[in-house]
Amino acid sequence: MSVASRIATWWKAVRRPEQLSIEIEDELRFHIEAYATDLMRSGLPREEAFRRARAELGGLAAQKETCREAWGTRAWDELRSDLRYATRMLAKSPGFTAIAIGSLALGIGANTIIFTVTKAILLDKLAVPHPEELRLFAITQGDKGVVHSSWGYFDQTPDGKMLSTSFSYPVYQQLRKHNNALQDIFAFKNYGRLTATVDDKAEVVNSEMVSGNYYRALDVHPILGRPIVDTDDTAPGSSPVLLISYGYWTRRFSRSPDVIGKKIEVNSAPMTIIGVNPPDFTGVFGVQSSPDVFLPFSMQPIAAPKFGSSLLTDQNLWWVMMMGRLKPGVSAEAAQSKLDADLNGAVRATLTVGKDEEMPRLILENGSRGQNEAGGEFAKPIYVLMSLAGFVLLLACANLANLLLARASSRQREMSVRLALGAGRARILRQMLTESLLLSGAGGALGLLLGYAGRNALPHLLSSSWEPTAVDGKFDWMIFGFTAAVSIFTGLLFGLAPAWQATRTQVSSGLKDNAQTATQRKRNLTGKTLVVIQVALSMLLLVGAGLFVRTLMNLNGAHLGFRPDNILLFDLQPQQTRYPDAKGIALYHQVEEKLAAVPGVDSVTLASVPLIANNISNMYFTPDGQPENSNSKGKKKAVDFNTVGADFFKTFQIPMIAGRSFDDTDTETSRKVAIVNQQLVKQFFPNTNPIGKTFMAGDRDNPKRIEIVGICKDAKYESLRRDPPATFYVPYRQQDGAEEMNFAIHTRMQADAIVPSLRSAVASIDKDLPLQDIRTQNEQIEDTTRQERIFASLTSGFGILALILASIGIYGIMAYTVARRTNEIGIRMALGAQSGKVLRMILREASWMAVVGVIAGLGAAVAMARLIASMLFGLKPYDPLTLGCASLLLVLIAIAASWVPAWRAAHVDPIKALRHE
Amino acid sequence: MAPKQNDLLQGTLDMMVLKAVSLGPLHGYGVLLRIQQISGNRLEVQQGSLYPALYRLEHEGWIASEWGQSENNRRAKYYRLTAAGRRRLHTETEKWNHMADAIGAILRATPEEV
C-alpha cells in the first residue's frame, strides 16, 4: 500500500511540479490567513498578525522545497539541476564539446559496428527453439582411417587427426534406428546449387536437403503451407515436395500466398512447393544466410543426382550431416559414448573394414550455431578488430580525461565556493560525473547512429562482390545495450579522474586570487602520464595500420605466374540428368567452340579449378617406376591438379618451358596426357627429364596411367599467399565427366559489352543453361584478399584517428602547461633567457613525453604483432621499416602539435606575465 | 507558556498528526489547533515542521488529501486517515506506551529496589 502511494505522490511531483507548487502555495496561504485571523481576533493589528503568521510558518520557498522533498523527489531534482548545469557549461565551450562528442562518437561507433559483426558471426544462434540443446555429429580419424571418400567440411584437430562432419547415408539410417541417447537424430546437407525453373524461368538456387523428421525435431513451423514430414522421406521420388525460404519467397514470388502448390522444376524434375519457412529461419547449416529451397533426401537421386548412382545407398561416400537434441537427464558425454559405440556397429555393418584400418570416433559438437564455418575462419580477425577498436576508444577516453582535467583546474574557484557553501564531496563528484556521462551519452547516441548507418558496411565488405550479401547486419537490442554500456563505462572512465581532482580542491587556497597550490606538480604528472599512454596507443594503432597496409600491398604485388588482365570468368553447371558424364564433356566442347567464334573473344578455355579462388582439387600421384608416393608419416601424398581446356596456357599466358601444350590431337579417345609444372618436376623428377614418362593418378578404384608431354612455368594455385605447389594439368576432354566447369574468356572488351553475346552463344546450345558468377579474373583474385583489404582500410582509419587524437592531446596538455607556467616563463625571460631557449625548452618537454610513449608503444606493438603474425604476408612482425616510420611519425606529430604553445611561450611578454601575479 | 516542540522526535509529531486526523478530517491549520486542544493546551506544534510532516505522511499513504471548502468558504486541503494510517497509529501508540512504561519503570526505581 505505501509503495503505491509513494509512487503516486512521486509521480505527481515529477510530472506536474508547477501544479504541485501552486497547491502548496494555496495551502500555506490558507494556513497564514487562518492563523492571522485568529491572531487578529486576539487583538493584534492586521499587519502585525500577518507578519507573525508568516514568520512562524517559515519561508515559503523553503517550505515548498521541504514539502516537495517529502514526496521523494530529491534525487530527481538534483539530477535535473545537474543536467541543466552541465548542459550550460558545455554550451559555453562549443569547441571543446564538439571535439569531445566527435571523438567519442567515432570511438563508440567503431566499436558498435564491429560488435554488430562479431555478434552475427560469433554469437548469434540458429533461429529454432532451444538451440543450445542441439548437438552436431562429427567424426575424427587418423591417417589409417576407414573412411576414404568424403564430400563436406574438414578440419585438423590439434593432434593431427582429421575432423569431419560427414557421414554416409546408410550409417545415418543405422544410427537413427538404434538411437536412444538423443531425442531424435535428423539429417541435413547443404547440397549446393540447383537449377530451378518456375513459370518457365530458370535460375540457380541454393539448397538444403533434409530428412523427414527435420522440421519436427527442430520444432520449426512454416508460416505458410506444411513442413516436410516423415512420409515425405521414404521411397526415392515418392514425394516431390519442397519448402522455400522466406527470403526467396520475397525475392521471387513477392510474398504471394498462391505460391503453395506451385509447380517448380528442380534440375528438370517436377516438384511442388508446399510451404514457406519463417523469416528468421536459416536452416541448420549456418546462421548468416538461408538456402533458398529445402527438399527431402528422398528426392536426391531424382532432382539432384551427383557422382552417378544414388547417394542414399552409397556406402562409401560420407556426405550427410546429422544433428540431434539432447534428452533431458542424459548428459552430453553419456550420449556421446553411447553414440560412439553405435557408430562402431554402424560402420561395421555398412563398410568392409581393412586389416589395419582404424575406426572413426564420434564427437558431439555444439550445434547451436550450425556448422559455424564462418565463425571458425573469422574468429581471430574479429578479435583483432575488436581489440583495435577498443584501443581507439581508450585513446579517446585518455584524450577526454586530459581535456577535462585542464578544464577542471580552471573551475577550481567554483569548486571552492561550492565546498565553502556546504556541498558534500559526494555531491560534487556526482555533478562532475553527470557532466562526463552527459558527454559520453551524447557521444554514444551519435555513435549508435554511426553504427546503424554502417551496419551493412562490414558484411558488405565480407562477401564477394558478385554474390548477394552473406551477412545481414541485424541491429537489435543487444547492440543497443552494448553501446549504452560502453558509453556509460567510457563516461565513468574519463570522468573519474577529473571529478576526483575537483573534490580534492582545498577550499581556502582555491578562494585566493592566484591559486598556486602545492598540488600543481602532481596534477601535471597525471596529465603527462595520460599523454604517454595516448602516444603508446597511437603507436600500436599506427604499427597495426602499417603492417596490414603493407601486407595488402605485398599480396597485390605478388608474382602470380600468369597474367590475370582482360580475362572474364563464369561457371557453367549443366543438369546432371540431361548431361551425365560424357554428354557433359561433349557439351563443354560445344560451348567452347561456340564461344571462340563470338566477336571480341581472343581465346576461350575451361578449368575445373578457377585460379586464385581458394579452391583445391588434388589426387594421388605416383610416377611409374617410383615407390608409392608417401610422406614420412606413411600418408599418401596428394598433388594439386587442374582439368583444363586446350588453350589454357595461351589464355592465361603461362609460358611453356619444355615439350608441348595441349592441342586438338588430345581428344577423348587419344592417349591420356598431362602437363606438369616446374615445382612438380623438382619434387618428383629431380635431375631427369620427365617428358615421356608416365604416372598413375586417381583414387584406388579407378587409377589412370598418364603420360607427361610438357612442362610449364610455376603459377600460383588457389591463393596469393601460398607459393606455387607441385601441379599437373590434364585435358578436360580426357575426363569421365565434370559437373561444373569454370570458363575463362580472354577479351579486351568490357564485361557488360560482351556478356550478352556470350549468353546468347550458350543459349543457342541450351537455353536452360545460365552463366553463373560472371566476374573478371582480377575481381576473383581481389575476392580472396577482401579480408586483408578490410583490415588495411579499417586499421588505416584507426591509425589516422589515433594521430588526430594524439595530436589534440599533446596540444592540449602543452597549452595547459604553458598557461600554468606563464609566471615562471616570465621570470626566466626577465632574467635573460632568449625566446629560442624557451621554445626549445617547451619542445623538449613535448618530445620527451613522445619518446617515452613511443618506447612503451614499441614494446606493446611488437607483442601485438607476434599475435597477428599469421595474418601478415611478406613481412616479419617486427618489421623495422614499419616500426621506424611509425616512431618517427609520432615524434614529428608531437613536435608539430606542441609548436603553437611553444611559440606562444617563447613570445610571452615578461612584463605582462609578471604583472599577472 | 507551553513547552516548545523542539525536544520531541519527528516520530511523535507523526503520531500526533495521525491521531488528530483520526478524530475527523482536518486541514493543516485545523490539525495544529486540534493537537493543541486535545493536549489541554500543554503542547504547541512548531509550525515550520507541520506541513513537511503532513506531506510525508501522505507520501507514506497513511493520510489522504482532497480539496474542500472551509468553514468560511475558502478553499482548503483536507486530510483524513486511511486504513493503513489507522493501523500505523495503532502500532505507534502501542510502541509509545511500551516505551513510556519502560522508561517510567526506570524513573520510578527507588534505591531499595536495586
pLDDT band at A577 (very low <50, low <70, confident <90, very high): confident
pLDDT band at A13 (very low <50, low <70, confident <90, very high): confident
pLDDT band at A375 (very low <50, low <70, confident <90, very high): low
Cell of A433: 560525473
List the single residue in A26, A66, A72 with the smallest CB-CB distance to B59: A72
Residue A800 in contact with partner chain B when CB distance is under 8 A: no
Contact B60 A70 (CB under 8 A): no
Q: Tell me, what amino acid is at A153? A: Y
List the single residue in B48, B55, B61 with the smallest CB-CB distance to A2: B61
Residue A35 in contact with partner chain B when CB distance is under 8 A: yes
pLDDT in tens, A245-260: 998 998 888 888 889 9
What is the distance between the alpha carbons of residues A53 and A777, in angstroms, rounded to a whole number? 96
Does the pLDDT at position A854 exceed 60?
A: yes
CA atoms within 13 A on the CB side of A182: 27
What's the pLDDT at A294? 94
Cβ atoms of residues A39 and A31 within 8 Å = no
User: 10 Å Cβ neighbour count for A513?
Assistant: 6
Identify any residues that bridge with A879 across adjacent strands, giving them in sequence order. Answer: none
Query: Which range among A215-224, A264-273, A748-757, A765-774 shows the weakest confidence by mean pLDDT?
Result: A765-774
Does the pLDDT at position A521 exceed 50?
A: no
Most confident of A491-495, A631-635, B89-93: B89-93
Inter-chain contacts counted by CB atoms under 8 A, chains A and B: 70
What's the pLDDT at A630? 54
To the nearest whole Å, the CA of A73 is away from the closest chain B CA by 11
Average pLDDT, whole number, for chain A? 85
* Chain B neighbors of A55, CB-CB under 8 A: none
What is the distance between the alpha carbons of residues A776 and A783, in angstroms, rounded to a whole number? 11
CA atoms within 13 A on the CB side of A908: 32
ipTM given for this complex? 0.87
Cβ atoms of residues A847 and A869 within 8 Å = no
DSSP string, A831-878: TT--HHHHHHHHHHHHHHHHHHHHHHHHHHHHHHHHHTGGG--SS-TT
Cβ atoms of residues A865 and A546 within 8 Å = no
Q: Which helix (H) or strand (E) holds A294?
A: strand A293-296
What is the distance between the alpha carbons of residues A621 and A372, in angstroms, rounded to a whole number? 33
What's the pLDDT at B31? 92
Contact B27 A30 (CB under 8 A): yes
What's the pLDDT at A653? 93
Contacts of A326 (CB under 8 A, 6+ apart): A133, A135, A182, A183, A332, A335
Does the pLDDT at position B47 exceed 90?
A: no
Cβ atoms of residues A25 and A64 within 8 Å = yes
**Smallest CA–CA distance from B57 into chain A, residue:** A70
Cβ atoms of residues A726 and A683 within 8 Å = yes
What is the distance between the alpha carbons of residues A89 and A100, in angstroms, rounded to a whole number? 14
Mutant choice from B50, B59, B63 vs A, greatest count of A C-beta within 10 A: B59
Contacts of A328 (CB under 8 A, 6+ apart): none
List the single residue in B59, B70, B75 with the smallest CB-CB distance to A9: B59
User: DSSP character for A93?
Assistant: -
pTM (predicted TM-score): 0.74
Contact A30 B29 (CB under 8 A): yes
Residues 55-74 of A with CB under 8 A from B: 56-58, 63, 66-72
What is the distance between the alpha carbons of residues A326 and A807, in angstroms, rounded to a whole number? 57
What's the pLDDT at B93? 92
Does the pLDDT at position A451 exceed 50?
A: yes
Positive/negative CA dihedral, A704, A710, A713, A715: negative
Cβ atoms of residues A606 and A689 within 8 Å = no
Residue B94 in contact with partner chain A when CB distance is under 8 A: no
DSSP β-ladder status, A321-326 and A182-198: antiparallel
Does the pLDDT at position A342 exceed 50?
A: yes
List the single residue in B27, B28, B84 with the smallest CB-CB distance to A2: B84
pLDDT band at A904 (very low <50, low <70, confident <90, very high): confident
Contact B51 A63 (CB under 8 A): yes
CA atoms within 13 A on the CB side of A82: 18
Contact A1 B56 (CB under 8 A): no
To the nearest whole Å, the CA of B105 is away from the closest chain A CA by 35
What is the distance between the alpha carbons of residues A894 and A888, in angstroms, rounded to a whole number? 10
* Chain B neighbors of A76, CB-CB under 8 A: none
To the nearest whole Å, the CA of B51 is away from the closest chain A CA by 7
Does the pLDDT at position A168 exceed 50?
A: yes
Does the pLDDT at position A364 exceed 60?
A: yes
pLDDT in tens, A786-812: 888 888 888 898 899 888 888 888 888
To the nearest whole Å, the CA of B108 is away from the closest chain A CA by 38
Mutant choice from A5, A24, A56, A68 vs B, greatest count of B C-beta within 10 A: A5
Contact B52 A1 (CB under 8 A): no
**Smallest CA–CA distance from A58 into chain B, residue:** B48
Cβ atoms of residues A371 and A136 within 8 Å = yes
Contacts of A556 (CB under 8 A, 6+ apart): A785
To the nearest whole Å, the CA of A78 is away from the closest chain B CA by 19
What is the distance between the alpha carbons of residues A544 and A221, in angstroms, rounded to a whole number? 48
* Chain B neighbors of A26, CB-CB under 8 A: 75, 77
What is the distance between the alpha carbons of residues A93 and A103, in angstroms, rounded to a whole number? 16
Q: In chain A, what percentage of residues exceed pLDDT 90? A: 24
What's the pLDDT at A499? 81
Mean pLDDT confidence for A834-858: 89
What is the distance between the alpha carbons of residues A53 and A29, in angstroms, rounded to a whole number? 10
Contact A5 B59 (CB under 8 A): yes
**Smallest CA–CA distance from A35 into chain B, residue:** B29
pLDDT in tens, A171-203: 999 999 888 889 989 999 988 888 888 888 878
* Chain B neighbors of A61, CB-CB under 8 A: none
What is the distance between the alpha carbons of residues A502 and A418, in angstroms, rounded to a whole number? 11
pLDDT in tens, A379-392: 788 888 888 889 98
What's the pLDDT at B80? 93
Residue B96 in contact with partner chain A when CB distance is under 8 A: no
pLDDT band at A517 (very low <50, low <70, confident <90, very high): very low
Q: Which helix (H) or strand (E) holds A322?
A: strand A321-326
What's the pLDDT at B6? 47
Shortest CA distance to B49 belongs to which of A27, A17, A62?
Answer: A62
